[in-house]
Chains A and B, each alone.
Chain A
Amino acid sequence: MAVPELHRRTLSNGLRVVLAPDRSAPVVGVSVHYDVGFRSEPQGRTGFAHLFEHLMFQGSESLEKLAHFRHVQSSGGTFNGSTHPDYTDYFEVLPSAALERALFLEADRMRAPKITEENLRNQIDVVKEEIRLNVLNRPYGGFPWILLPPVLYETFPNAHNGYGDFTDLETATVDDCAAFFDTYYAPGNAVLTVAGDLHPEETFALVEKHFGDVPARPVPVRPSFAEPLPSAQRTGHHVDPHAPLPAVAVGYRMPDPVSELDAYLAYSVLSEVLTDGDASRLQQRMVHQDAIVTDIGTGCGLFGVPLDSRDPDTFLVTAIHAPDVSTQLVLDTLDEELDRLSATGPDTEELTRVTARWSASLHREHDRVSSRTLAFGAFELMYGRAELSAELPARIAAITAEDVAAAAKAMRPDSRAVLTVEPGSES
C-alpha cells in the first residue's frame, strides 16, 4: 500500500495535529480524537463517556444548540461521533471549501462547550431511546459487546456496560459533565486529523488560527486497565426474550496491541483463517460440513475491529445455532479446529489469501475519506503512528504459520469466557 503523505505538528497547548493530503476528490475529513473512552468512566456513572459525546454536539460559546448540525449540513457536509473503550471521536466530512468552518466548529467545542441542564435532560432521553433501539427492543441486543465483558473481566473498567444503566444515566448532572470535561478534554489529550483535499501549510495556519488559543490544561495520566488472565473457564448465561435461536459467544484475552503488535496481528490472521469466507476453516466445518451453526464469526476487539483499543483486548467467537445443537458441541468443534491449527498452522495458500484480503479491505476503507480520517486519528492517538494503517498489509504478510499456530495454541478452554444466550422470557 502506498505510504500516505503525512504532516505533523504539536501546538503549544499540546494538541497533536496530523494532516494527510490526498487531492483525488474535492472533499475533506476533519476529526478530533480525545483520549478517553468508556473504560475511563467513573463507577456509578456507566454510559457517561457516551452521554458526554452527545452533549458535545449541543452547543458551545459561539454556537447555539442545533447550530453545529446546521453549519455542517448547510455547508454540504456530514458529521458524527462515537465512543469506544479507549477513545471518543468526532468528525465532519465536507466539500473542501468548508474546511475552515469544520476547524472552527471543532475548536469552539474544545474551547468552551455549553453544558446546560436542559440539554443534558434532553440527551439522556435520546440516549435511552438509542439503548432501547439497539439493545432492549431487539433480538441479540448488546450481544456480545455488553454481555460478554462481565464474564471475561473482573474489574469495573473492563467489565461494565459502556452504554450505561438507565439509573446511572438518569442521575447524571451538569456538575459531572464539568468534571469530566476538565479532566479529559484538554487539548493535550487530543489528536486533530485533517485528510483529503488540502494544502498542508495553509491548513496548519488555519489550525493555529482556530485552535491556537484553546488554553492548555493538565493532561490526565492514563491508567493501566490490565488485569490477570482468567485461571479457569468462566461462564455466563443470558435469557433474551426477542431471540429466536440460541447463541454463544466465546471471549479470549489477546496480546497487548501496543507493546506486542505482531503477536496481536497473528490473532487477526487467525481470525481470518477461521471465519473469513466460505473457504475458511470454521465456515467449512461448522456451517457447511457438520451443519451445526447458522452463522459463525470471529474477530479482534469487542466490536470486531482490530487495533481499536489498548490492552486488554478481546478475541471474540460468536455463533448462532439451532436449539437441538448443544453449546458443548459448538465449543468442542471450535477446540478441535484450534488444536489442528496449533499443531500445523495454516498452509501457504491460506496465508496468501489473508494478505490479499487485508490489502483490499484497507484500500476500500481508505477510499472513503471519513474512514481514512478516523483511522489516521485513532492510530496516531493510541499508537503514535498514523502511518501504521498503511503499514499493516506488509506486517500482516510477515506473519508466519508458526505465529498463527502459537495464537491458536494460546486460546485455551481454561482461560476463556463462554456466554450463552437462550431464547425465552425471564420468568
Chain B
Amino acid sequence: MTLLTDYRSPEEIGRTEAGPRPLPPLGVQRPDQDAPTVDTVLANGLRVIAVRRTSVPMVELRMHIPFAGDAADHGAVSELLASTLLTGTARRNRVRFSTDLAKVGGDLSASVDPERLYLSGSALVEGTETLLDVLADAITGAVYPDGEIDRERDRLVERIAMARAQPRVIAREALQKHRYADHPFTKEVPEAAEVAQVTATQVRDLHARAMSPRGSVLVLVGDVDPAQAVAALEKALGGWTNDTPAHRLPALPVVSGGDLLLVHRPGAVQSQLRLSAQAIPRTDPRYPALQLANLVFGGYFSSRLVENIREDKGYTYSTNSSFEFTPGNATLLIDADTASEVTAAALLEARYELGRLALVPPTEQEVDSARQYAIGSLLITTSSQSGLASTLLAFAGVDIDPQWLREHPDRLRAVTTEQVAAAALEFFAPVNFTGVVVGDADLLTPSLSALGGVQLP
C-alpha cells in the first residue's frame, strides 16, 4: 500500500460543514462499592489488611517488613538477602519454590530499600493456601544455601554495574547525596566492592535479627472472604515470631533550598534535571491543598510545567512533579530529561513556573481540574486488585488506614482555591528548591554558568 495521491489539504481535513461542536456534560457518577475489609493485628504483631474484590479469580499479596540498618555494608547484605530469600528452606530449593508457585499461576518476589524489605506476589484464588505456605516457608525457614549466595553475589555485582549505567540511577544517587549527604536513607544501590565481601553468615544473621512480624504489614486483596483470609494468614504465619525491635533510621534532615549541583556525564546527549523541596506528610491538614497545587504545577499532563516545556517549547518528552514519601514526612520532586542544548532553557522555565505558582495563584478552573483528576485517578488505580493492594500497602507504610483512603475524595472536594494558593506560596517558592543536573558538563557549563544558581564541577 502506498499513500493516496488524491488527498485533502490539512485545512480541509481540519474542518467540517457543521463546524465545531460543544463538549458533552458529565453524567452522574455511580459510587464504587465499599469493599469488605478486615484490618487487624495478629497475635505475633503482624498487621494484616484483607479486602474482598471479586473482579477476577485471583489474589494479590503485598507485604513490607522494617529492614533498616546502620552498618556500612547493611545495604549490600540486605540486597543479597532479598536475592536469595526464595532459594532454599528445609522443604524447598529454588526450583521447588518456582514450581510450587507456577502450578497455582503464582509468583512471589522480594526487593529491598534502605527502609524496608518488600514481598509482592499473586496467585489464582484456589492457590491462596500455596502462596501463603510458600511465603511462610521463606520467612520462617530460609537457609540461604552457600551455592545460591555465591551465584547471586556475582549476579548482584553485574546488576549494580547495569543499574549505575542508567542516567536515572546516576541522577537519583547524585540527588540523594546532594540533599542528604551520607545519611543511610540514601544508600539505595550498594557498592559492588561491598557486595563482593558479603558472606552467607552475614545474610543469615540479618534474617534472624530483622525478619520480624512487629511493624510489618501484609495486604491481601482478591476474590476471598476477608475473615477467612485472616484466619488463613494466622494459620500460615502465626508461628512466625521475633521480638527484636525494628531498627529505625535516624530522622532525615529537612531539605533546604540552594544551588543545584552539575554532575558531569561525558558524552551524554540529554541531561537529567532533578529539583526537590521539603513537603509535608499526608496526615498534615495542609496536604490535600498541596496535593492539588502539585498537580497544577507539574503533577499531571494538564499542568503548567508540561504545557510549557513540552507542549509549547518541545524541551522534553516527559516531565513530572510528585511527592516522595519519606519516614514521617515527604518531599517534592520535579524531574525532566532534556537535550543538552536546551537544558539551561528548561531549567529557566522550571524556575519561572515555580515562581509563577507561588505568586500567581492557580485559578478556580485549574484547581477544579486537578481535584477531579485526583479523585478520578484514585478510583481508577484502586479499581484493580493489584492497584488496590499496592495502594493500601503504600498508605499503611505511612500509618494511614484504609478508612483515610475512603474519606480522601471528600477531603479533596473541601479544598478551596485560597488554600491551594497558600500551599503553593509556602512550598513551591523557588528559594525552597535544591537539586542536580546530570549531563555533559562541557556542553552545559557556558549556559548554566550564565543562568546562575548552579555549582559547576
| 27 A-B interface contacts by CB (under 8 A) | A25-B379, A26-B31, A40-B1, A62-B20, A62-B21, A62-B22, A71-B23, A74-B302, A78-B380, A101-B23, A101-B26, A113-B13, A114-B14, A123-B314, A125-B315, A126-B310, A133-B317, A178-B9, A179-B4, A179-B5, A181-B7, A197-B30, A223-B1, A349-B99, A356-B124, A358-B105, A367-B384
Contact: B16 with A111, CB < 8 Å? yes
Which chain B residues have a beta carbon within 8 Å of chain A's beta carbons? 1-5, 7-10, 13-16, 18-24, 26-32, 54-58, 94-95, 97-99, 101-107, 122-124, 151, 154-155, 158-159, 161-162, 164-167, 267-270, 300-302, 307, 310-318, 337-339, 368-369, 372-373, 375-377, 379-380, 383-387
B307: A residues at CB distance < 8 A: 66
B167: A residues at CB distance < 8 A: 137-138
A96 to B167, CA, bound (A): 39
A359 to B166, CA, bound (A): 34
A183 to B5, CA, bound (A): 9
Question: Nearest CB to that of A423 among chain B residues?
Answer: B165
Instruction: Kindly state whether residue A352 has any CB partner on chain B within 8 Å.
Output: yes
Q: From residue A222, how far is it (CB to closest CB) to chain B in Å?
A: 7
Known: A122-B312, A129-B270, A353-B99. A27 touches B10 (CB 8 A): no
B101: A residues at CB distance < 8 A: 277
Known: A132-B339, A139-B165. A101 touches B373 (CB 8 A): no
Contact: B28 with A279, CB < 8 Å? no
Q: Which residues A196-211 have CB closer than 8 A to chain B? A: 197
Contact: B58 with A363, CB < 8 Å? yes
Question: Nearest CB to that of B376 among chain A residues?
Answer: A76
B302: A residues at CB distance < 8 A: 66, 69-70, 73-74
Q: Of B3, B14, B95, B105, which one neighbours A357 at CB under 8 angstroms?
A: B105
A352 to B102, CA, bound (A): 9
Contact: A277 with B26, CB < 8 Å? no
A25 to B164, CA, bound (A): 41
A130 to B269, CA, bound (A): 12
A168: B residues at CB distance < 8 A: none
Contact: B24 with A100, CB < 8 Å? yes
Among the 9-residue stretches A13-21, A81-89, A241-249, the one with 4 or more Cβ atoms under 8 Å from chain B is A241-249
Question: Nearest CB to that of B27 among chain A residues?
Answer: A97
Question: Nearest CB to that of B125 among chain A residues?
Answer: A363
Instruction: Kindly state whether residue A343 has any CB partner on chain B within 8 Å.
Output: no
7 further A-B contacts with Cβ under 8 Å, apart from A132-B269, A137-B268, A218-B4, are A24-B383, A75-B26, A101-B26, A175-B9, A222-B1, A244-B162, A278-B97
Q: Which residues A173-203 have CB closer than 8 A to chain B? A: 174-175, 177-183, 197
Q: From residue B29, how far is it (CB to closest CB) to chain A in Å?
A: 4
Contact: B27 with A98, CB < 8 Å? yes
Contact: A278 with B300, CB < 8 Å? no
B98: A residues at CB distance < 8 A: 277-280
Contact: A179 with B7, CB < 8 Å? yes
Interface residues on A, range: 35 or more
Instruction: Kindly state whether residue A93 has any CB partner on chain B within 8 Å.
Output: yes
> Which residue among B19, B158, B159 has the maximum number of chain A CB atoms within 10 Å of its CB?
B158
A255 to B316, CA, bound (A): 40
A70 to B372, CA, bound (A): 11
Q: From residue B273, how far is it (CB to closest CB) to chain A in Å?
A: 12
Question: Nearest CB to that of B168 among chain A residues?
Answer: A138
Contact: A245 with B158, CB < 8 Å? yes
Contact: A352 with B103, CB < 8 Å? yes
Q: From residue B90, how far is it (CB to closest CB) to chain A in Å?
A: 18
A279 to B165, CA, bound (A): 30
Question: Nearest CB to that of A361 among chain B residues?
Answer: B105
Contact: A27 with B383, CB < 8 Å? yes
CB contacts between A and B, total, < 8 Å? 274
Contact: B31 with A108, CB < 8 Å? no
A79 to B416, CA, bound (A): 27
Q: Of A115, A277, A359, which one neighbours B124 at CB under 8 angstroms?
A: A359
Contact: A220 with B1, CB < 8 Å? yes
A125 to B97, CA, bound (A): 48
Instruction: Kindly state whether residue A226 has any CB partner on chain B within 8 Å.
Output: no
> Which residue among A26, A100, A278 has the maximum number of chain B CB atoms within 10 Å of its CB?
A278
A73 to B299, CA, bound (A): 11
Contact: B158 with A133, CB < 8 Å? no
A121 to B373, CA, bound (A): 29
Instruction: Kindly state whether residue A6 has any CB partner on chain B within 8 Å.
Output: no
Instruction: Kindly state whether residue A364 has any CB partner on chain B within 8 Å.
Output: yes
B104: A residues at CB distance < 8 A: 356, 360
A81 to B232, CA, bound (A): 42
A77 to B318, CA, bound (A): 18
Contact: A139 with B162, CB < 8 Å? yes
A125 to B317, CA, bound (A): 8
A352 to B104, CA, bound (A): 9
Contact: B154 with A112, CB < 8 Å? no
Contact: A364 with B386, CB < 8 Å? yes
Q: From residue B185, how far is it (CB to closest CB) to chain A in Å?
A: 26
Q: Of A112, A125, A241, A361, which one neighbours B15 at CB under 8 angstroms?
A: A112
A220: B residues at CB distance < 8 A: 1
Q: From residue B295, how far is it (CB to closest CB) to chain A in Å?
A: 9
Known: A74-B302, A183-B7. A129 touches B26 (CB 8 A): no
Instruction: Kindly state whether residue A385 has any CB partner on chain B within 8 Å.
Output: no
Q: Of B20, B105, B123, B372, which one neighbours A74 at CB under 8 angstroms?
A: B372
Closest 5 CB pairs of A and B: A76-B376, A125-B314, A360-B105, A74-B369, A25-B383
Question: Nearest CB to that of B158 among chain A residues?
Answer: A294
Contact: A182 with B15, CB < 8 Å? no
Known: A113-B14, A129-B314, A183-B3. A364 touches B376 (CB 8 A): no
> Which residue among A96, A132, A291, A358 has the maximum number of chain B CB atoms within 10 Å of its CB?
A132
A121 to B2, CA, bound (A): 24
Q: Of A104, A113, A276, which one neighbours B21 at CB under 8 angstroms?
A: A104
Q: From residue B292, how far is it (CB to closest CB) to chain A in Å?
A: 12
Contact: B386 with A367, CB < 8 Å? yes
